[in-house]
Amino acid sequence: MKDIKVTDSILYVGADDKTLDLFESQYIIPNGISYNAYVILDEKIAVMDTVDARKTEEWMKNLDEVLGDKAPDYLVVSHMEPDHAANIKLLMDKYPQMKVVGNAKTFAMIPQFFDVDLTDRTVVVKEGDTLGLGKHTLQFFMAPMVHWPEVMVTYEQSEKVLFSADGFGKFGALDAEEDWTCEARRYYFNIVGKYGAQVQALLKKAATLDIQIICPLHGPILKEDLGYYIGKYDIWSKYEPEDEGVFIAYASIHGNTAKAAKELAEMLKEKGAKRVAIADLSRDDMAEAVEDAFRHDKLIVASSTYDGGLFPCMEDFLAHLKAKNFQKRKVGIMENGSWAPQAARHMKAAFEAMKEIEICDTVVTIKSTMTEENRKTMEELAEQFV
Ligand code: FEO
Backbone angles phi, psi at 373, to 5 degrees: -65, -45
> What is the rounded CA–CA span in Å between residue 275 and residue 281?
19
Residue 179 lies in a domain: yes
Task: Name the nearest CA neighbour of 146 among 16, 274, 211, 233.
Answer: 233
53 and 104 co-located in one domain: yes
132 and 37 co-located in one domain: yes
96 and 193 co-located in one domain: yes
Q: Does ligand 1 come within 6 angstroms of the Cβ of 170?
A: no
Residue 160 lies in a domain: yes
129 and 251 co-located in one domain: no
Task: Name the nearest CA neighbour of 101 among 118, 115, 116, 82.
Answer: 118
> How remote is the CA of residue 167 from the centroid of ligand 1, in Å?
9
pLDDT tens per residue across all 386 residues of the chain? 566 899 999 999 999 999 999 999 999 999 999 999 999 999 999 999 999 999 999 999 999 999 999 999 999 999 999 999 999 999 999 999 999 999 999 999 999 999 999 999 999 999 999 999 999 999 999 999 998 999 999 999 999 999 999 999 999 999 999 999 999 999 999 999 999 999 999 999 999 999 999 999 999 999 999 999 999 999 999 999 999 999 999 999 999 999 999 999 999 999 999 999 999 999 999 999 999 999 999 999 999 999 999 999 999 999 999 999 999 999 999 999 999 999 999 999 999 999 999 999 999 999 999 999 999 999 999 999 99
Strand partners, 363: 333
- Tell which atom from ligand 1 comes closest to the C-alpha of 147: 2
Residue 300 lies in a domain: yes
224 and 335 co-located in one domain: no
Residue 3 lies in a domain: no
Domains in the chain: how many in total?
2
Residue 218 lies in a domain: yes
pLDDT confidence of residue 1 = 59
**C-beta separation of 122 from 107 below 8 A:** yes
Considering 204, 219, 237, which residue would you say is the last residue of a domain?
237
Task: Name the nearest CA neighbour of 54 among 16, 81, 80.
Answer: 16
pTM metric for this prediction: 0.96
Residue 1 lies in a domain: no
Q: Does ligand 1 come within 6 angstroms of the Cβ of 185?
A: no
Residue 121 lies in a domain: yes
227 and 259 co-located in one domain: no
322 and 249 co-located in one domain: yes
199 and 328 co-located in one domain: no
Question: What is the domain-level CATH number for residue 310?
Answer: 3.40.50.360
- Tell which atom from ligand 1 comes closest to the C-alpha of 218: 1
Residue 143 lies in a domain: yes
> How remote is the CA of residue 83 from the centroid of ligand 1, in Å?
6
Considering 190, 211, 237, which residue would you say is the last residue of a domain?
237
DSSP 36-82: --EEE-SSS-EEE----GGGHHHHHHHHHHHHTT---SEEE-S--SH
Structural domain harbouring 156: 10-237
Considering 204, 237, 270, which residue would you say is the last residue of a domain?
237
258 and 286 co-located in one domain: yes
Q: For 243-285, where are the alpha helices, taking DSSP H only?
A: 256-270
180 and 295 co-located in one domain: no
Q: Whose CA is nearest to atom 3 of ligand 1?
A: 81
> How remote is the CA of residue 221 from the centroid of ligand 1, in Å?
16
Q: Does ligand 1 come within 6 angstroms of the Cβ of 176?
A: no
189 and 335 co-located in one domain: no
Question: What is the domain-level CATH number for residue 90?
Answer: 3.60.15.10
267 and 351 co-located in one domain: yes
